[in-house]
Structure 1
Amino acid sequence: MDVKQLRALVTVAEVGSVTRAAELLHLVQPAVTRHIRSLEEELGVALFERTRQGMRPTEAGLIMIDRARRALMELERARAEVQPTPGAVTGIVTVGLLESAADLLTEPLVAVLAREQPGIELRLMTAYSGHLQQWLDDGDLDLSLLYNLASSPSLNAHPLVREQLWVVAPDSEGLRADRPVPFAQAAAHPMVMPASGHALRTLIDEAAARAEAGMDIVLQTNSLRVQKQLVLAGHGWTILPGVGIAEDVTDGTLSAAPLGEPDVWRSIVLATPRAGRTPPAVAVVARELARQVRAAVREGRWPSAQLLTSGGGVPGGGEAQGAVS
């Protein structure tokens, strides 16, 4: 098994065609076919089904493709680290961002790193916390923002922020930041909710139980943007973190108010793997991401958020600051 075989495997899987893979790899088609067949012979299993629609991975193929993709990524990262420009931090860093905070943090993070650390190749993935944690555990991410994670056997959690959840409605409802809405009052409206099993939905369900309030859930979705679109279209109200609706409230698209009776908060951490060394490039990105989070809170761009004190700081140094109102 060699790198050429793994590259052929991953490329064929991505494009579904040996011909197209050969073009991308700058090889002749028989060479790509030979790499795939020799790998299948070595493993003793078929990795693809040859169909009229193209090359379709088998169950064994899906396993190998996933592992091959990670192996190739690690080789790229190692090459970047051992062949650096003198005095520069280099490497590939894959970062997970919560969907709710992505709009706030992505551009500032990219801009600073492009200007100050051009040797770092940044790769960004956005999703909900549960998906990001799984990707971090699987080794697909180097670091990630997660919420309501105190610790886990595989991850270190560096506290950054706690923020309140907000009731969100069309602008015509006139919700205001200085007038919290009791949970029972919000629940009296049709509700557009995160799908069951989502960590945010768990927080909301726990609050509903404390308030002894039933919810008329008319729609469920796993997309924050879809939640907001459905509220805007008049299908119901919803509950979201303040950071996810700040721009919508500012531009008058939606109205929102802090959720009360009970208040509901989530804590956001910067999570990193416990095992292995932290590459310099990962440490640099972790520090900058934490700095961007703190700046957003201090400058009032992250509604109803409080900074948290971290006992150990982010990887490579850089303490989080004490809690503020």
Structure 2
Amino acid sequence: MNPNLLKQLAIVVKQGSLSRACEQLYITQPTLTRSIQQLEIKVGAPVLIRTRYGVQPTEIGARLAQIGERILAETEQGEEVIRQFHSGYHNEFVIGIDPLWEFATVEKMTAHFMQEKRYVFHFRTGSAAAQIELLQKGELDFLLAPAHLSVKQGTLDRQLLFRDRSGVFVGKRSVLRGANKTISQEVLEKQNWIVAGANAGFLDRPSEIIGLKAASMAFTGSIRSVLYLLNTSDVLVRLPARLALMTGEVELDQMIQVPGPLGARRDIALWSRIENLERPEYSKVHDLIRVFMQTLDESVSTQGLDL
């Protein structure tokens, strides 16, 4: 089967219109219509149906369009690999990072990795829980994520390189901001709590402090909404304290003292697959990331945290 037919079908399904697909493909509608007809002859059944809202795939059409999407993605990746080759890059490495790490370190991280001219780096932001699985499957080369994940580590190497501990932060409109004493549990129970990163490896439940009171909102997969609320409202949330302060979006007087022991460790580790560490190129990039994380840990203020 001609893969171009599947690629064209995928674009038609995505656009929901033959005319819009023609614009994207830079071909005439009769040409695209003939391509769809060729595919339908091959299949022996329709792959598209017309509705008043445009065109929609039949069951077989949808399955073939999914294959076409993959062909399109592989084609684009192939073109990018060629561009990388002509630009002098040796290889591409995919590095998973959690949302707060990305927000807090993006400027320093970009400056560090831009100096490396041999490799292309693809940074992928997402929850640690999801990305650790991608690492185990070989879809990530490295992962910068919380060190204390509840996962089987038999095939993984973990190097703890950035020290942190969780802390409780209040929004800038909170009456608790700037308090120079431990806030009682009775007061904490009356506050508007939110949860951040339930699936991203940096969650301490409010219930660790305030018993059975439920948080009224939860945010996962992104940290931007949480930081916005800390700037504009009176919410309370637990976050990795050092990283949160590194964002520049929250201030030290927003971190309050709460009853009980110190906040849990929220260190960041460099995760990788043990079997890959024997590969020279992989080992070089591992060292590049390790040096960056160690340098960051040594150069950034600990903000008085017991680390």
Pair 233,73 (structure 1): closer, same or farther in 2 beyond 3 Å: same
Counterpart of 2:196 in structure 1 is 194
Counterpart of 2:212 in structure 1 is 214
Pair 156,173 (structure 1): closer, same or farther in 2 beyond 3 Å: same
Counterpart of 2:226 in structure 1 is 227
Pair 286,51 (structure 1): closer, same or farther in 2 beyond 3 Å: farther
Q: Does 1:167 align with 2:168?
A: yes
Say which SS state the counterpart of residue 189 (structure 1) adopts: coil
Counterpart of 1:298 in structure 2 is 298
Counterpart of 1:314 in structure 2 is none
Does the CA contact (< 8 Å) of 2:156 and 2:271 recur in 1? Answer: yes
- Percent identity over the alignment is 20
Q: CA deviation at 1:236?
A: 2.2
Give matches, 1:174-189, under 5 Å. Answer: 174-175=177-178, 186-189=188-191
> Paired residues, what number?
298
The TM-score, its normalising length taken from structure 1, stands at 0.65
Does the CA contact (< 8 Å) of 2:8 and 2:68 recur in 1? Answer: no
Give matches, 1:1-325, under 5 Å. Answer: 1=1, 3-5=3-5, 7-12=7-12, 14-32=14-32, 50-56=50-56, 69=69, 73=73, 80=81, 84=85, 88-117=88-117, 120=120, 122-133=121-132, 136=135, 141-147=140-146, 148-149=148-149, 151-152=151-152, 156-160=156-160, 161-171=162-172, 173-175=176-178, 186-194=188-196, 198-200=199-201, 203-205=203-205, 208-209=207-208, 213-222=211-220, 223-242=222-241, 243-246=243-246, 247-250=248-251, 255-257=254-256, 261-262=260-261, 263-272=263-272, 286-300=286-300, 325=307
Q: CA deviation at 1:158?
A: 2.6
CA distance in 2: counterparts of 1:93 and 1:34, whole angstroms:
41
CA distance in 2: counterparts of 1:106 and 1:17, whole angstroms:
39
Pair 99,55 (structure 1): closer, same or farther in 2 beyond 3 Å: farther
Pair 145,83 (structure 1): closer, same or farther in 2 beyond 3 Å: closer
Say which SS state the counterpart of residue 129 (structure 2) adopts: helix
- Unaligned 5+ segments in structure 1 are 307-324
- The structure whose Rg is larger is 2
Q: CA deviation at 1:166?
A: 1.3
Pair 113,220 (structure 1): closer, same or farther in 2 beyond 3 Å: closer
Cα deviations by residue, 1:196-220 (Å, 9 ceiling, x for unpaired): x53557x423x735x5723342222
What is the one-letter code of the residue matched to 2:164?
E
Does the CA contact (< 8 Å) of 1:109 and 1:289 recur in 2? Answer: no
- Unaligned 5+ segments in structure 2 are none
CA distance in 1: counterparts of 2:62 and 2:304, whole angstroms:
44
Cα deviations by residue, 1:75-126 (Å, 9 ceiling, x for unpaired): 665673898359x433444433211111233333334444432662x44332
CA distance in 1: counterparts of 2:116 and 2:74, whole angstroms:
24
Does the CA contact (< 8 Å) of 1:169 and 1:232 recur in 2? Answer: no
